[in-house]
């Protein structure tokens, strides 16, 4: 069986007997999406958390080959007393959204995230004053903007939230992969990303610039918003508790290029709890040696230490 054909199995820290799940609709109208709420069994209203997947058309589980990191998080946290809402991204459920020439990160994430927050605040198992947003990768990058749009959000969990401008990070990542896997990433690929990144930085970028000329084929409006978006500055203005987590082996979002900005921008802020898991990669899977894309094709689960730390922080640590 190939990696994508392997069935997901629950992580050891998930205890399905301690929670139930039901479906919900997030958003309204033609862009509504489906979601799942994981509800701890038999307890007084407690914390709730909305999960936001990374960049790209991800389903509610953030399925990556045989792995489902957001499902790991949902089941692990629900087993420990937190109600969790995860949902399909609009770019996954409605492919025309992903292809829209005017798509921006805000449009892709914020309206559905705000609706999800409102849904959790009204859920019988949730204390409406204790609804958090947990974002992974680009979901972490956009999480501060979600908290601005939904002021009732109690705090943020940011997992591998990128802060380096994404077009610069793309050049860095492809250069890393070319060094690691020279047979798979020829110099021409690096040159293409360099050319595209230079266009994003230039005054020549306009809303009508063809997406084909830009990194990842994302629209010009997407890049116009991204190049001016500073998640750390937005987070610094929130005065909300934040748990910021980073994998030490992550080559996509790194300690040196991304976490350093969180540390600098939130220095001296007691409400910001920053932690590094040295053995973990971008999906917070533990391992050893240089991280490679091949790791994502092996069935794994989110680090149990990460699950335990998030669960404790949601229940106790941010107060």
> Which of these three, 211, 228, 245, is where a domain ends?
228
Mean pLDDT by 10 residues, the chain (319 residues): 66 97 95 97 92 97 96 98 98 91 95 98 97 98 98 98 97 96 93 98 96 95 96 96 98 98 95 97 97 93 98 83
DSSP class of 209 = S
> Which of these three, 209, 228, 247, is where a domain ends?
228
Q: Which active-site residues does the annotation give?
A: 137, 250, 282
User: Which tens digit of pLDDT belongs to each residue from 215-262?
Assistant: 999 999 999 999 999 999 999 999 999 999 999 999 999 999 999 999
**What dihedral angle (degrees, nearest 10) is formed by the CA atoms of 254, 258, 296, 97?**
-160
Same domain, 281 and 195: no
User: Which tens digit of pLDDT belongs to each residue from 281-306?
Assistant: 999 999 999 999 999 999 999 999 99
Same domain, 64 and 206: no
96 contact partners, CB below 8 Å, separation of at least 6: none
Q: Where in the sequence is the domain holding 186, given as residue range(s)?
A: 165-228
Q: How many domains does the chain have?
A: 2
Same domain, 222 and 255: no
Residue 43 CA, distance from chain mean position: 28
List the CATH number of the domain containing 33.
3.40.50.1820
> Which of these three, 205, 228, 251, is where a domain ends?
228
Residues 144, 238: contact at Cβ < 8 Å?
yes
Secondary structure (DSSP) of 165-202: -HHHHHHHHHHHHHHH-TTTS-HHHHHHHHHHHHHHHS
């Amino acid at each position: 069986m190939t990696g994508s054909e392997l069935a997901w199995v629950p992580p050891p820290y998930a205890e399905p007997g301690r929670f139930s799940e039901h479906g919900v609709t997030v958003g309204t109208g033609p862009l509504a999406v489906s979601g799942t709420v994981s509800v701890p069994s038999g307890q007084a209203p407690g914390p709730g958390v909305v999960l936001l997947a990374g960049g790209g058309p991800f389903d509610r589980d953030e399925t990556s080959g045989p792995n489902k990191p957001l499902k790991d998080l949902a089941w692990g946290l629900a087993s420990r007393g937190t109600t969790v809402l995860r949902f399909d991204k609009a770019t996954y459920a409605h492919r025309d959204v992903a292809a829209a020439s005017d798509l921006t990160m805000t449009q892709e994430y914020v309206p559905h995230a705000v609706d999800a927050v409102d849904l959790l605040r009204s859920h019988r198992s949730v204390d409406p004053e204790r609804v958090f947003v947990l974002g992974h990768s680009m979901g972490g990058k956009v999480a501060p903007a979600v908290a601005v749009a939904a002021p009732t959000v109690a705090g943020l969990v940011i997992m591998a939230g990128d802060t380096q401008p994404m077009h610069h990070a793309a050049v860095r990542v492809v250069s890393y992969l070319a060094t690691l896997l020279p047979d798979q990433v020829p110099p021409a690929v690096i040159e293409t990303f360099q050319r595209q990144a230079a266009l994003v930085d230039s005054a020549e970028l306009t809303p009508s610039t063809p997406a084909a000329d830009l990194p990842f084929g994302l629209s010009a409006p997407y890049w116009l918003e991204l190049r001016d978006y500073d998640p750390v500055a937005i987070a610094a203005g929130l005065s909300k508790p934040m748990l910021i987590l980073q994998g030490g082996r992550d080559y996509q979002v790194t300690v040196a290029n991304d976490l350093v900005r969180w540390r600098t921008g939130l220095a001296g802020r007691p409400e910001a709890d920053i932690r590094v898991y040295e053995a973990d990669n971008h999906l917070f899977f533990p391992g050893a040696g240089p991280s490679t894309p091949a790791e994502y094709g092996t069935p794994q689960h989110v680090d149990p230490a990460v699950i335990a730390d998030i669960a404790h922080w949601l229940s106790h640590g941010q107060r």
